[in-house]
């Protein structure tokens, strides 16, 4: 999909409204995951015909957010799509120079902290034709074997086409930024964007895999990069979107062809990013450094990776 079409599709996507509610956080001390449960506190008004608490007598439909706090990344799992909504990580030259993890010793495994009915299963990818695409790359988590192992949890994985080789070059670009910047923060996640049909109307369409088919196949992936050196008030920021297409992206395609306004990604994802970083303190990363990838031949790094058996039902 050409960049201009991606941009238009992003412009047409609308994020959901947030309803006022009280929020309670729960954390199991023995768990690396935080469950965020939103409770609606409703007070009847003098003009109410029916007590709203009577309407919700047997429970309020809630959206629970499964936040995974791992050694090398933090993630938010989307129970509806069975994919992470976002995965955040921080890279430094020091963290990347450590070689204490080897992906040959890692195995894909299910996230047992997510309720079974909402969980992505190992069997969902069987004969699907899609790779298990890391959102936080294993190569970013070599600080320890445990940290690398955690990148293979399915709540850090999305269905990704084998043709998306440019994504691996992109991840390498992010790591190389640590040679120029003291700290590189990255947020990665899937998008489900509309495309224009022959009748001129825009529709959202995506494949669903698994048995039963529950795991959504993203149409695109986004990556937001925030790089800083600590001694300046301004921070270098850039946001990118790449199609999860069966058509390979030519190696010669400039990375800037995929650069998009951050606000457009926010509208499409229904998420607000960098809310603690004022726009006035942001500068364009691709005007501060060369946003180019080094084309390297990456073998399918997931080939030969074992997988732990799923939990017994």
Q: How far is residue 33's CA from residue 214's CA, in Å, rounded to a whole number? A: 22
| Annotation: binding site for Mg(2+) | 165
Q: How far is residue 225's CA from residue 168's CA, in Å, rounded to a whole number? A: 15
Three-state secondary structure call for residue 74: strand
In the predicted structure, residue 12 carries a pLDDT above the cut 60: no
Cα 268-77-302 angle, rounded to 5 deg: 100
Specify if 255 maps to a domain: yes
Compute, in degrees rounded to 10, the torsion defined by CA atoms 194, 185, 23, 150. 90
Specify if 154 maps to a domain: yes
Specify if 172 maps to a domain: yes
Q: Encode pLDDT of 73-106 as tens digits.
A: 999 999 999 999 999 999 999 999 988 989 999 9
Number of H helices, E strands in the chain: 7, 17
**From 9-13, 182-186, 191-195, the region with the lowest mean pLDDT:** 9-13
Q: Which domain CATH number covers 109? A: 3.40.570.10
Q: Encode pLDDT of 110-138 as tens digits.
A: 999 999 999 999 999 999 999 999 999 99
Tell me how many domains the chain contains: 1
pLDDT above 90 as % of the chain: 68
The closest of 224, 223, 209 to 161, measured between CA atoms, is 209
In the predicted structure, residue 23 carries a pLDDT above the cut 50: no
Specify if 142 maps to a domain: yes
Distances (CA, A) of 102 to 161, 172, 298: 24, 17, 16
Three-state secondary structure call for residue 237: strand
Catalytic residues: 134
Cβ atoms of 257 and 3 within 8 Å: the answer is yes
Q: Encode pLDDT of 257-269 as tens digits.
A: 999 999 999 999 9
pTM: 0.83
Domain that holds residue 269: 67-288
Specify if 293 maps to a domain: no
């Amino acid at each position: 999909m050409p960049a201009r079409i991606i941009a238009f599709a992003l412009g047409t996507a609308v994020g959901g409204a947030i309803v006022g509610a009280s929020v309670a956080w729960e954390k199991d001390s023995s768990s690396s995951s935080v469950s965020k449960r939103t409770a609606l506190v409703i007070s009847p008004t003098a003009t109410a015909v029916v007590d709203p608490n009577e309407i919700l007598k047997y429970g309020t439909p809630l959206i629970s957010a499964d936040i995974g706090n791992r050694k090398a990344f933090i993630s938010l799992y989307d129970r509806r799509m069975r994919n992470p909504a976002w995965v955040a990580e921080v890279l430094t030259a020091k963290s990347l120079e450590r070689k204490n993890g080897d992906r040959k010793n890692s195995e894909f495994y299910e996230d047992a902290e997510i309720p079974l009915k909402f969980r992505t299963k190992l069997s969902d990818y069987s004969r699907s034709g899609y790779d298990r695409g890391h959102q936080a790359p294993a190569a970013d988590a070599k600080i320890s074997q445990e940290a690398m192992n955690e990148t293979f949890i399915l709540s850090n994985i999305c269905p990704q086409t084998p043709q998306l080789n440019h994504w691996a070059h992109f991840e390498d670009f992010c790591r190389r930024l640590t040679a120029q910047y003291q700290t590189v923060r990255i947020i990665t996640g899937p998008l489900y964007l509309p495309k224009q049909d022959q009748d001129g109307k825009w529709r959202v369409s995506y494949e669903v895999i698994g048995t039963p088919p529950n795991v959504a196949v993203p149409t695109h992936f986004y990556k937001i990069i925030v790089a800083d050196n600590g001694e300046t008030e301004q921070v270098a920021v850039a946001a990118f979107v790449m199609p999860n297409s069966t058509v390979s992206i030519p190696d010669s395609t400039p990375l800037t062809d995929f650069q998009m306004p951050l606000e457009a990604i926010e509208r499409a994802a229904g998420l607000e990013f960098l809310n603690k970083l004022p726009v006035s303190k942001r500068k364009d990363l691709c005007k501060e450094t060369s946003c180019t990838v080094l084309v390297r031949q990456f073998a399918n790094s997931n080939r030969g990776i074992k997988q732990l058996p799923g939990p017994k039902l």
